[in-house]
Amino acid sequence: MSKQLTVTAKTAKLDEVLEFIGAILEEADCPMKTKLQLDVAVEEIFVNIANYAYGDAEGTAVISADITENPKAVVIEFRDTGKPFDPLAKPDPDTTLSAAERQIGGLGIFMVKKSMDEVAYRYEDSQNIFTMRKLF
């Protein structure tokens, strides 16, 4: 069961993206705790695309979701043709430091990495491709 959504990469489209993923997860009987983790991760990745991928230009984001069996999981992929950027290349923030002592940025992708079972990034055919997998 693979589905795809293409939207303008604008934060105003976040609700549409979350509804798209939510409908797929509901159809797959995804547990609420897992759905909430996925909502946070999807929001983080999409908002980063919307805010940074295209600068002042307009572009699109393509979100696809696939439910797998044995083991039951969802694989969500984000594609954009914005400037190349690997969010996984940045070192994780030092969470032992207070918020005031930490450098700005990186906490959102750190949360995604910790809450998903797998995350991956690649740049292929002039596209940023970020994939995350969550078992449920």
The 10s digit of each residue's pLDDT in 83-124 is 999 999 987 665 655 555 556 655 789 999 999 999 999 999
Residue-wise pLDDT tens digits, 1-44: 689 999 999 999 999 999 999 999 999 999 999 999 999 999 99
CA distances from 123 to 1, 29, 83, 129 (A): 25, 32, 10, 6
**All domains of the chain in start order, with CATH:** 2-135 (3.30.565.10)
Beta strands in 27-135 (DSSP E): 60-68, 73-80, 118-124, 127-135
Find tokens 């295209």 and name the residue: 54
Buried b (16+ CB within 10 A) or exposed e, 48-74: bbbeebbeeeebbbbbbbebeeeeebb
The one-letter amino acid code at 37 reads: Q
